[in-house]
Amino acid sequence: MSRVGIYGGTFDPIHNGHLHVITQLIEKKIIDRLLVIPAGQPLLRDRAPVATGAQRRSMCQLAISTLPSSISSHVEVNPIEILREGPSYAIDTVEAVRATYPEDEIFLILGADAYSKIDQWHRSDEIHALASIICIDRPGSAHHGIDIGALDVSATAIREGASQDVPEIVWAFIRENRLYDN
């Protein structure tokens, strides 16, 4: 039996903080296989993503390619949510992953901010029944989960041009596609 993690997020853009979480989950053997899943139409966000689903998927793939093979060989960018029509519900993704990995233990990886809203999620009781939740504490947040020394990086700051905390290859993609120009 393997431990399969679902690490979903808007990833608008994926940044060094996300890569740190990915690395720690694999290095510390918390997860054996990690599915990085860019959100399709996130429902509990104040705004829709700036980058398209395809662009966010590409940025995730580029970022994962910068990780050492000892990490990246355990990670897959999965487009299930950005290919799904209509709203993206975590329960649909958890059910699909459970069907793909029926013999494995499924974990849903959440940042403390997402974890604090999980009771508002569609069919959240079923999510708890199908997957174990791993909450990643953010710097300065209340402690609800595991502390992996998360980095204080903000996708908002990156979009606003106040930070470049992304791998260089992702920064080149952002510039080339004129994302987040303000």
Domain ranges of the chain: 3-176
pLDDT in tens, 129-145: 999 999 998 877 666 78
Q: What is the mean pLDDT of the chain?
A: 92
- Segment 83-90 mean pLDDT: 86
Query: What pLDDT score was predicted for residue 45?
Result: 62
Query: What pLDDT score was predicted for residue 58?
Result: 98
Nearest to 63 by CA among 150, 168, 157: 168
Judge whether residue 14 has pLDDT over 80.
Answer: yes
Check if the beta carbon of residue 43 is closer than 8 Å to that of residue 85. Answer: no
User: Which 3 state secondary structure label does DSSP give 37?
Assistant: strand
**What pTM, to 2 d.p., does this model score?**
0.93
Nearest to 39 by CA among 8, 7, 75: 8
- Segment 28-51 mean pLDDT: 87
**CATH 3.40.50.2000 for the 3-176 domain, yes or no:** no
Judge whether residue 43 has pLDDT over 70.
Answer: no
> Could you identify the residue written with the tokens 């959240």?
124
Query: What pLDDT score was predicted for residue 138?
Result: 80
- Segment 41-55 mean pLDDT: 81
Query: What pLDDT score was predicted for residue 40?
Result: 86
Could you tell me the pLDDT band of residue 181, with boundaries at 50, 70 and 90?
A: confident
- Segment 143-155 mean pLDDT: 86
- CB count within 10 Å of CB 2 equals 11
- CB count within 10 Å of CB 25 equals 25
DSSP secondary structure letters along 97-143: HHHHSTTSEEEEEEEHHHHTTGGGSTTHHHHHHHSEEEEEPPTTS--
